[in-house]
Structure 1
């Protein structure tokens, strides 16, 4: 039988990233010419091999650590060198530093042997400049021949890769080394990339958000926050044409570019650290806001885009062919509106909010004019191009929308959480229009009210929870999924309905893993290793944690947070895109989903969402007030956070062991009340 192409696995690789450049290697530091290993810049693999050898043998690895944005250390041994004793006497430290468009390595040989030794150190190198979509599909690639002339360099089109350091040898670099007893010898080499047509680049300025100091009884929360803040800093990106505005690239390696939904959610979770990232993300997406109807790209007037690439994104082996600027998302537009509103309430300057009001009005117009294709009053999607995403919510895999019996829903599909987003966006849009003296507030409040009535009539099931979606025949898709948790806090539910959803999600079939499962174990489509039908996604769980905390269901919020913290322990506190949805008792730790991206922006931002839920600070700067509503009883233990941001002011918050919270540093004119 002919082997089918398989997407390369990622779970055991080490990512060293400072966007838009990423090195993916084995845990031993070796970059081998296999799978997805390599050095990537923007959307191409610029080195497909960088393997270290000493006297023709690979060192034996004993450990590694990611040591900050763009930096990793790999430690190994050369036991065939040095003394013939049980203790190793020759250690090899390989320090990798990635910066935008470059990678540098220091290879240090340290000896505690009694006698000097000599050896030959080599680094074998190759380059294929394979597009990311070819690597993702498991497609075959061919190493490029190096440029003629001195040195090591490769070129394809306008992209050029050059290597320096050591003596140039066949297939790489070479050093002849002698190490005396007690000495250390350090070798250095590096690679540089010139890529003038990349659509993303490093931002022009410093980090846009604060880095708070966190102390907590639960040490896992401190460690997760520290690693997550490093990863968020490493994922900062800007458009090459407008480097002054930063957004977060979605994830390494497949999604290190602008993704409307992902970048919005990550910026929204980071609002407690300042509004600057939200403001720049909003501006970037507004510049790409749809202006015309285009079935191929999914563009429509007022619509917020899905993803940005250098060129067409065509995955070998299937029919997916996405244009460079693709709009196939049903939820990015209402989420953009909600982000603008939330940033305003956290203190985004009124001049910056005002500049985005025309884009707000266009986005609101899309809700009614283009988001509801068949006029039934719900937002729904269908790919009419035949080459785009079949599912266009955050669960966008082909089998993501399934009935309880496992059957797949047919489009047009109206997702449950998207109706909540639309309700929240309409109410938020009305508040902004009214506050800034623009017409239309009453129209959008009326829209929200009518949507809530229709939703209550059509989505609620006899089982006591809302359906996942309505299919093309307006039948409720009756699987129990995490999507319903996104409704919490949007305003579309009554308190009694929020309680029903909280109790539904509390069932072990949903919450019995390390976080919230994407689908109940009782549904026929469930698999703990399904991308969207049984796995656990950190950002999905964090969104539900935030909604539970806001709606007064702190007990379940705390249990789900504990699940993510326990999962983080097994991933060195770098939460992946998703992990397996097995029961917690099965292995005692979370199992990886083998093709999960890591780091991932909204997974890293989940750490901030957990801290925010525990503290419970909810400012409304335009109204001159802030509400403090921590999780009751301090279920995550005592917590101190210094360096939150409200309207540019540095704010400190503490939660004592009894669950009593205190806040200091709120800006003048903002009055605090307990929730």
Structure 2
């Protein structure tokens, strides 16, 4: 074995983008992803990595490889095809006219198959020839290890780590503290070059024949806090897709269920309890709200992953009051990382275990009740009653920071998330004039979640608890009735756009008057009367809120509206699906089916892998939905939206 330090990139490797300009978040819409959580590979459509800021091989919260190239000594490779096969396999196809004859038809081609598994990336290169004489050439792989932290990549501040390189026979090992990778390249000449590793194969393709080479990257991270699911999914994707009456929905389900499969994770200490990672590339971990909603929307597909998500989050439930982590007794986790999340440009510093969400706790209770109705065994539900009591206790004791009777949030340290609902960007809660609301913020939808949680929590305690729960059952039913009455008095407003609930109450208890998609989350929770649910459903379908490809996050009538605003005018598929989910529960079937039609049009426009969000541009101006270029994909709750559409169109749970 030889040991050598890595230096600057060599000629075969793609050069990293210039850092002369101000750092920007990477764009994702044109990149190709192959994944199996917690591993993901982002590249160009030809499979190469290094020219775009997001490119690379990631494992957990670290980008292990920044750039990767393939070349042939005797010919340029002209890539002509990109063929995904599910979430974890893709084949790139190219022609090599430099070693071909002069006839028009290409006779020499390279097929590059890439597969991704948990901690493993494998490529097989098949060089095929229709020539009547043998071809001898050299194929080369160049890769540039980096080991940059994921949040640094996201912020545009990726910093390569110092590495040590060991070269062996047909292999290389690169390490950077707790992270390391191994290149296994049988039959190759492997060398350390400035900036990285190069592997080369001398190949001979017989006349009318084929030659193949295979290499593999094995990725390790001693700090990893999540692992990939080991069991196969519990659903038959083909059987589920066959239930769809619309062929577009069948195609969306096929893609979405594959993505949900690839997004399954577990915690190493509890490998049998799976949950959905929030999404790629930035959220390949446990997120309380996201994992709960994904499990809830996909509940007709898989009851067991809902149950295991509940157990995982119960094990991490808050037990003490800690401003640094936003933890409070009974509170459900917001996100889990292997290291602190630092976003200097936004003044954000989140600890590895962070509890800064106001809605995860009531949503956990709602999912528990939904899972029980879906058949979760009574014994499993009873085992979670202590967590249920603690979660209800958080709603009563800590969820209302200022004592006005509504659940609210405020970042106590100033380094956490300023907004702690699902719209967690700093400018997401605006007045109609575009000015920002001051906290504590009491979001409208969180009151709906809390109302539902109080009632279903009381029912669970009555059905499965013991005699000591009797007083709590009465308390929570009375609490819910009081909340419903106070919500009706405090939140309903009238503006030139109509009568609807305010998105939130601000610090002065004033109703923040912007018309937003948040009100769609109220439908089906029970906090609204039937007539008001129908009124909200109608508003959400009005042209100011409906883009034709889903429900906008903010009305076009608001001063802050912009179709490419993250939470101020874009369309989030899961957000629209939650409104549809509520419409169905409220018996508003016609409205639900109409909105499902918009989601199907969006899915078709994105080739059935629906991203995290897209532009709110009206359909009348765009024949296909416009991407939000930094949107993650796949995203678990966006994929789970396809299951909601199936239940609406089929009329079956």
Q: CA, structure 1 residues 505+34, in 2 after alignment: closer, same or farther (shift >3 Å)? A: closer
Query: Equivalent residue of 1:575, what SS?
Result: coil
What is aligned with 2:479? 447
Normalising to structure 1: TM-score of the pair? 0.89
1:7 to 21, 25, 34: 25
Query: Which one of 156, 169, 180 corresponds to residue 160 of structure 1?
Result: 180
- Deviation for aligned residue 1:209: 4.4
Match of 2:41, SS? strand
Moved more, 217-226 or 173-182: 173-182
Deviates more, 1:506-515 or 1:482-491: 506-515
After TM superposition, the structure 1 stretch with the greater mean CA deviation from structure 2, 482-491 or 56-65, is 56-65
Map of 1:331 onto structure 2: 359
Q: Which runs of 5+ in 1 are unaligned?
A: 619-675
Counterparts of 2:520 and 2:556, CA distance in 1: 16
Shift of 1:223: 0.3
Deviation larger for 211-220 or 242-251: 211-220
* Partner residue, 1:516: 551
Displacement of 1:72: 1.3
Q: Distance in 2 between matches of 1:412 and 1:213?
A: 44
Determine whether 1:266 maps to 2:294: yes
What's the CA shift string for 1:41-95, capped at 9, x where partnerless?
A: 1111111121111127652222212212421111222232312233222222111
Determine which of 250, 271, 281 is the counterpart of 1:243: 271
Counterpart position of 1:529: 564
Moved over 6 A (4+): none
Match of 1:603 in 2: 638
What is the SS of the residue equivalent to 1:417?
helix
The 3-state SS of whatever aligns with 2:457 is helix
Q: Does 1:414 align with 2:442?
A: yes
Whole-angstrom CA distance in 2 between matches of 1:126 and 1:331: 41
CA contact (8 A) 1:210 1:273 kept: no
How far is 1:126 from its partner? 1.1
Cα distance, 1:614 vs structure 2? 2.0
Q: Which structure 2 residues correspond to residues 4-403 of structure 1 after superposition, within 5 A?
A: 4-32=22-50, 34-55=52-73, 59-142=77-160, 144-150=162-168, 151-165=171-185, 166-169=188-191, 170=193, 171-209=197-235, 211=237, 212-215=239-242, 216-403=244-431
TM-score (norm 2): 0.92
- Corresponding residue SS for 1:7: coil
Where do 1:490-569 residues align within 5 Å?
Answer: 490-569=525-604
Q: Distance in 1 between matches of 2:321 and 2:163?
A: 44
Residues in 1 aligned to 2:306 and 2:319: alpha-carbon distance in whole angstroms: 23
The question of whether the paired residues in 2 share the 8 Å contact of 1:7 and 1:137 is answered with yes
CA, structure 1 residues 57+469, in 2 after alignment: closer, same or farther (shift >3 Å)? farther
Higher mean displacement: 25-34 or 336-345: 25-34
CA-to-aligned-CA distance 1:193-249 (integer Å, 9 cap, x gap) = 222321001234332445443334421100000010100000010112221211110
Deviation of 1:496 after TM superposition, in Å, equals 0.7
Specify the SS of the correspondent of 1:272. Answer: coil
Distance 2:519 2:510 in 1: 17
Residue range with higher mean Cα deviation, 377-386 or 585-594: 585-594
Deviation string 1:351-399 (CA, Å, 9 cap, x unpaired) is 0000000000000011111000111110000001111000000000011
Gap regions ≥5 residues in structure 2: 1-18
Measured after TM superposition, the shift of residue 519 of structure 1 is 0.8
User: What do residues 464-521 of structure 1 show as CA deviations (whole Å, max 9, x unaligned)?
Assistant: 1111111111111111111100001000010110111011111011113311111111
Name the SS of the counterpart of 2:367 in structure 1.
Answer: helix
Residue 585 of structure 1: how far off its partner (Å): 2.1
- In structure 2, distance between residues paired with 1:595 and 1:57: 35
Matched with 1:456 is: 488
Which string of whole-angstrom CA distances, capped at 9 and with x for unpartnered residues, describes residues 275-302 of structure 1?
2101110000001101111111110000
Confirm or deny: 8 A CA contact 1:33 1:48 kept in the other structure.
no
Contact 1:134 1:316 in 2 (8 A): no
Counterpart of 1:469 in structure 2 is 504
- Any conservation in 2 of the 1:417–1:484 contact (CA below 8 Å)? yes
Question: How far 1:404 moved relative to its partner?
Answer: 0.8
Q: What's the RMSD between the two structures over aligned residues?
A: 1.6
CA distance in 2, matches of 1:342, 1:174: 55
Alignment of 1:517-666 (within 5 A): 517-617=552-652
**Cα distance 1:337–1:217, how it changes in 2: closer, same or farther (>3 A)?**
closer
Pairs aligned (count): 618
Moved more, 307-316 or 281-290: 307-316
Tell me the SS of whatever aligns to 1:122.
Answer: strand
